[in-house]
């Protein structure tokens, strides 16, 4: 894997300019030397295009990995929220059951039966209200799970998009490099043909 920075390119250019002057002084036509310099430039620019594509693909793959990890974490949070919702509902039901048992024992201490008349109606209302509130606790737990599941799907989508971006970056750089080679080869051929005349 070759990576050229600005200093490398400047150094190569300076050495090629020196070679160009020496070659012309030595009797080699300027056109042939120019064609050779163009070929070197073509190779350098093609390698640069390929490297840019690899770097973009690598970055996109990294981002895809981060998004995938975020999706895993979000899924774990959703699982925990579902578990917590069940725990909260169970805790609420036990609390209401204990409260109902306490009420029944209080009725027993006053010689009032809760199976007849107003005490029965109050007990039924309490039981119905307790069930409704337990279902609300369950629903809130499910709302929490659904919210986190949306985050999971969002992170999975991000991971997929970054994966596609990585593939696209690699493919595009290959096409750009190929186009650069064909274009540069045509230019070099023109320079060489002009030098031969």
Q: What is the pTM assigned to this prediction?
A: 0.58
For the chain, the DSSP string reads: -----HHHHHHHHHHHHHHHHHHHHTT--HHHHHHHHHHHHHHHHHHHHHHHHHHHHHHHHHHHHHHHHHHHHHHHHHHHHHHHHHHHHHHHHHHHHHHHHHHHHHHHHTT--TTSHHHHHHHHHHHHHHHHHHHHHHHHHHHHHHHHHHHHHHHHHHHHHHHHHHHHHHHHHHHHHHHHHHHHHHHHHHHHHHHH-
Say how far residue 157 (Cα) sits from the centre of its chain. Answer: 8
How far is it, in rounded angstroms, from Cα 139 to Cα 86?
10
Instruction: Write down how long the chain is.
Output: 197
Higher pLDDT, residue 33 or 187: 187
Residue burial 161-186, b: 16+ Cβ < 10 Å; e: rest: ebbebbeebbeebeebbeebeeebee
Q: What is the pLDDT of residue 15?
A: 60
Q: How many CB atoms lie within 10 A of CB 144?
A: 18
Kindly report, residue by residue over 93-121, the tens digit of the pLDDT.
Answer: 999 988 888 877 776 666 655 555 566 56
Higher pLDDT, residue 10 or 54: 54
Q: How many CB atoms lie within 10 A of CB 30?
A: 13
Kindly report, residue by residue over 135-194, the tens digit of the pLDDT.
Answer: 999 999 999 999 999 999 999 999 999 989 888 888 888 888 888 877 777 777 777 777
The mean per-residue pLDDT over the stretch 19-48 comes to 67
């Amino acid at each position: 894997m070759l990576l050229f920075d600005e200093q490398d390119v400047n150094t190569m250019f300076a050495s090629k300019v020196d070679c160009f002057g020496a070659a012309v002084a030595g009797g080699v036509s300027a056109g042939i030397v120019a064609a050779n310099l163009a070929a070197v430039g073509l190779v350098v620019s093609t390698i640069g295009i390929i490297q840019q594509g690899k770097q973009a693909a690598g970055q996109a793959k990294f981002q895809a990995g981060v998004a995938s990890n975020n999706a895993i974490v979000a899924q774990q949070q959703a699982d925990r929220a579902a578990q917590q919702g069940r725990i909260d509902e169970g805790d609420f039901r036990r609390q209401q059951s204990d409260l109902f048992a306490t009420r029944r024992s209080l009725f027993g201490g006053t010689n009032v039966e809760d199976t007849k008349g107003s005490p029965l109606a109050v007990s039924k209302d309490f039981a119905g209200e307790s069930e409704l509130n337990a279902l609300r606790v369950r629903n809130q737990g499910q709302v929490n799970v659904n919210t986190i599941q949306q985050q999971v799907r969002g992170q999975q989508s991000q991971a997929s998009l970054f994966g596609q971006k990585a593939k696209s970056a690699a493919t595009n750089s290959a096409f750009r490099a190929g186009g650069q080679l064909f274009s540069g080869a045509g230019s070099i051929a023109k320079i060489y043909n002009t030098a031969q005349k």
